Amino acid sequence: QQQVKQSPQSLIVQKGGISIINCAYENTAFDYFPWYQQFPGKGPALLIAIRPDVSEKKEGRFTISFNKSAKQFSLHIMDSQPGDSATYFCAASSKAAGNKLTFGGGTRVLVKP
């Protein structure tokens, strides 16, 4: 049972372009939606996170858009750089379930110079 569905599985974008990754969830109890960035052989690192009381959050070149009614959220990477090449995971958790994170399947992003 996949509670968080992530797409696409992989993405190629030119330097300076916009990378867009989408996630959809089923559990309406989820109240915390983080995005993690993972480089090969390393642990994931928190990139940006949002709660359902806001529809958008921006930190530098990274923006989360959140649509509560559609149960969808997305990550936009503006002005993509080769150093952004990594695997990105969306996740969701709820306080009611002990803040356990449920992860999407991941998106491998390659930024071409």
Q: What are the Cα distances from residue 87, in Å, to 66, 96, 110?
A: 20, 29, 9
99 binds other proteins (CB under 8 A): yes
Residue pointed to by tokens 């569905």: 5
> Binding other proteins by CB under 8 A: which of 21, 63, 104, 109?
104
100 binds other proteins (CB under 8 A): yes
Beta carbon of residue 79, minimum distance to other proteins (angstroms, whole number)? 25
Residue 102: strand pairing partners: 92
Site for other proteins in 15-44 (CB under 8 A): 32, 34, 36, 41-44
Q: How many residues bind other proteins (CB under 8 A)?
A: 25
Beta carbon of residue 16, minimum distance to other proteins (angstroms, whole number)? 27
48 binds other proteins (CB under 8 A): no
User: Which residues contact residue 60 at a Cβ distance below 8 angstroms, ignoring those fewer than 6 apart?
Assistant: none
Point out which residues bind other proteins (CB under 8 A). Answer: 6, 9, 32, 34, 36, 41-46, 49, 89, 93, 95, 98-106, 108
